[in-house]
Amino acid sequence: MNSQESDPIVVGLGFNAVDNSGSRFSEILNVSENWNLSRLIKVSVEKRFDYDHGIIGELSVNKFKVGKTINSEQIENSLGYLALDIMFKNYTTNYILDPKHAKYEGFVTAGFGANLIGSELAKTINVGFGFNIYLDFDLRLNLQTIGKFSIDSATSGNANHIQHSITLIKWIGQNRK
């Protein structure tokens, strides 16, 4: 039982927003023109190890609507977005806070992804950061931002993008003690 408490499974359901405008950091908060907020579902499953590390799989669905900016150009047709990401997480705040009693935990994450944008598949290297905010004993709110960078030279320039998410996560296999 002790192993299960320190190495829980964490499941999540939430929302995501994709910024694929090509503006880099100059218009990062231009939500109305650059962020895509349609069909914005995200599900995740994470295996934690000794509270400090985790391996997570995330599936995100979204849609680029007509008139949104992709790679500095407004699109004329809607495009679907489907992403599957596998990443390693390091909970950096656990080095200074007690992970069993902290009200929040910060993390950095990195890994690989496959993103289907319209009919085009892009393989990416992902780098990001986020916070989990304590709501209840086994329930937390996850806030995360990931930069996704194309590693496939055959993919057009629309593969690089930023994805933000808000997810409600639940720890499975943790006892109240």
> What is the distance between the alpha carbons of residues 90 and 100, in angstroms, rounded to a whole number?
16
CA proximity to 111, closest of 90, 85, 92, 130: 85
Residue 156 main-chain phi, psi, to 5 deg: -65, 170
Look at residue 169 in the predicted model and tell me its pLDDT.
97
The parent domain of residue 136 ranges over 2-172
> What is the distance between the alpha carbons of residues 67 and 114, in angstroms, rounded to a whole number?
25
Band of pLDDT at residue 76, cut at 50, 70 and 90: confident
Look at residue 17 in the predicted model and tell me its pLDDT.
86
> What is the distance between the alpha carbons of residues 30 and 151, in angstroms, rounded to a whole number?
26
> 85: which strand partners?
58, 113
Task: Examine the pLDDT at 4 and tell me if it is beyond 50.
Answer: no
> Does residue 101 fall inside a structural domain?
yes
| Residue showing tokens 């990001």 | 128
> Does residue 46 fall inside a structural domain?
yes
> Does residue 123 fall inside a structural domain?
yes
> Does residue 57 fall inside a structural domain?
yes
- For residues 137-161, average pLDDT: 82
| Residue showing tokens 């910024």 | 19
- The pTM assigned to this predicted structure is 0.85
Q: Domain holding 115: CATH number? A: 2.40.160.20
Contacts of 51 (CB under 8 A, 6+ apart): 6, 91, 94, 99, 100
Residue 59 main-chain phi, psi, to 5 deg: -120, 125
> Does residue 100 fall inside a structural domain?
yes
> What is the distance between the alpha carbons of residues 167 and 58, in angstroms, rounded to a whole number?
11
> Does residue 37 fall inside a structural domain?
yes
Task: Examine the pLDDT at 175 and tell me if it is beyond 50.
Answer: yes
Look at residue 34 in the predicted model and tell me its pLDDT.
56
CA proximity to 122, closest of 136, 131, 112: 112
- Please tell me the total count of domains within the chain: 1
DSSP conformation class of 76: S
Q: Are the C-beta atoms of residues 57 and 45 closer than 8 Å to each other?
A: yes
The average confidence (pLDDT) of the chain is 83
Band of pLDDT at residue 55, cut at 50, 70 and 90: very high
Look at residue 65 in the predicted model and tell me its pLDDT.
81
> Does residue 81 fall inside a structural domain?
yes
- Residue with the bigger pLDDT between 60 and 72: it is 60
> Does residue 177 fall inside a structural domain?
no
Task: Examine the pLDDT at 58 and tell me if it is beyond 80.
Answer: yes
| Residue showing tokens 């496959």 | 114
